[in-house]
Structure 1
Amino acid sequence: MLQVDALCKAFKEETASKHDRVHAVDDVTFTVEEGQFFTLLGPSGCGKTTTLRCIAGLERPDTGEIVVDDHVLFSHDRRISIAANERNLGMVFQSYAIWPHMNVFDNVAFPLRVGKRRRTPKAEVTERVERALNVVELGHLAGRYATKLSGGQQQRLALARALVIEPKLLLLDEPLSNLDAKLRESLRFELKRLQREQGITTVYVTHDQSEALSMSNAVAVMKDGRISQLGDPFDIYLKPANPFVADFVGTTNFIDGVVREQTPDGWVVHTADGPLTVAATSGVGVGDECVVCVRPEHVEVLRDDSSTGGDNVLTGEVQTRLFVGEAMEYQVRLPNSQLQCRTPAAARLSSGKPVSLHLPPAHCTALPRPEARAGSR
């Protein structure tokens, strides 16, 4: 459906000389299948919005190629660049960009009344607008002015305006970021339901990991203009390819160590707090410095106080605890490091209590130490 190949886009730095350019997008390649919900995830300045704007035609890439449904929208080598208003793509901006002087109906009808669509028959305009409004459940507010809508209703209005042109591809640039937490969560379900029921191929941009993991079929985690890891949400969360992804997506414990040997059960990593067996590695081998990554929810707190030894068992002391509603979160001080773990809310541990922690090898991964990786470039 969508193919982005070797896309590059650089901008001139305002304070730099005329020869200095910063690559906002640096050799980005990915494919979005028809009907897929694809998310570009990353921190501010990573290039995700610039990538989306290049697809939409709002930015002209320096190199690369963009193809939608076998139709070339941009190709540097073939000197093709289709104007944004001729790409038949729907886009919802972070600010919604709705017209305050128009009512709901006219806002949605606007794309059908301008440009090449201005000759759309009036009856067809009415039919398509009503259908789009019913999809987002705003049909009963067609006569209301946009300024009289709530934040969630404005978001759905912007979505209806993007859908009314029946786009080949829907582009969403952090459309939920201006909403409060509870409304944002409810609209995640609504947006995903709408996308699935309508079968709309969607590219979604966000810095919110919860949105990316809960809504997407595929996620591309971006850093410094490049894709750091591409995969389904389960692999992104459970099998991070590098420390950046492990740290950015969710909460992760990092334990410094050195890979000593490979055994039938995995790889043995020597750490200052004792040897750990990990089931998986990425980018490291025997003799390499590494970090062992394990999520807080995978750290098992052993209830038997006598369990002070064994494979992948570390001992420490509870330093702080936080009640977060459905769970208790603890910071446990080990002799040479600190781990975060999570237990059900009913399983309360007192601060200062000695504990034994089991790190299941199946949930432990050895990745390159960030310092070692930076030094190898």
Structure 2
Amino acid sequence: MSLRAGLRQALRISQSQKSPSSLGNSGLFNGKGLNSTGHACVISRSFNKAAAGDTDGRSVHKVRGKTTGKGTGKATDKSKGRPPFEHVDHVSRFTKGLLPDGQDPVKTFKAHLKDGTLTKSLATSCLKTAIRQERFDDGLGEAAMTWFWNEHDNYKFPDDTDMLDCMVRFLYREGKEDRIWQWTEKKSRKRENVGPTDRFAWRADTVRSLITAKAFASEDSLDSALETFFRAKSSTYSIPVAPAIVQVAKLLMMPATRLSDQPSDVEFKIERPRWPNTSLELWEKFLKNIDAKRDVSEPFRVQLPLYKPDRPDPFPFLKYSRHLASHPSLVQKMLKRQSLVPWLARSRHAEALLRQEGHHEDAKFLEEFTQELDTKSEEVREKYNMRREGRRKKAEFGDLNDLPFKH
């Protein structure tokens, strides 16, 4: 066994011996406000990477040596130490962040709240565990919101989004959507010289979380989720809607099951929308709300018609693909984006629709162009997969650079 592997194993064993109560000791709640467990970050909203699976129209940058990135309320600033073991070392991603078996989420939350040791990461674990147990009648959602409401000026993107998602989902299942809106429209106490996008990032993320909660609570329609978007868009409060636009677009294009299970069939490539009974009127209204000046890279305006509720329309996508084929510089930029993967799937979907409607020449062009993109992007995807695997291993085993000494 190498020195590095031995150190890693010893570190994991020592951490696994910690008691469950140590979960709540990484930060103290003093009654006035938590020290921020998030990272300083600069948020810029754009649609340039909107179709990617792990972005919502914002980019996160490094500020003053702190590493920003996706998280669940855990500090990754190395000066603050590693996050609790219970939140990073789980065999299955489906149980990541849950409380240890046998630990009651409601009692744990209330006990740490009472003695002032409740942290964002612990609160998130309590909410996740309660959601898994479907305990929506214990008032935990509202208790968490009240506690977090007092701390909302410390909300950091993306560090606190996991907790926010859980809290909003919990409140919606409790039937307390009105409390979510009351919190969303609460006046910010921030005094820093920042713009409205950064100042009200928590409003934007709350709306995005509510849209998602409503979507997956519905069997076949996104009408309620769309109505939430329009309410936020027309609000007299400053609610940036870029993340909501990205989320709604993703949901509208989310496939359910294929029309065929035979790869040789044309219908095998056709994707049926996850929510097929979405109102056509609301769908068209949403499409009109997309800003064409910002929707420039893999534009939603050409992708969404592929999943139009009454009848899928592949021609906007075909037209844009021909435009791409005549501009190699645009294609080269696409190859570097993670959003190319869902784009390729939608391109095959468009090709199948064209072939089904008898437009064989157009379908052949799209098939060949899609194959060209796929071939050229293979190397790029391999590099992306290697980086993703590296992040997964880092989350599971921790960063070896955090050890007191290195080999």
Normalized per residue, the structure richer in strand is 1
Normalized per residue, the structure richer in helix is 2
* TM-score normalised by L of structure 1: 0.32
Q: Per chain length, whose mean CA-contact separation is higher, i.e. which structure has more relative contact order (CA < 8 Å, sep 6+)?
A: 2
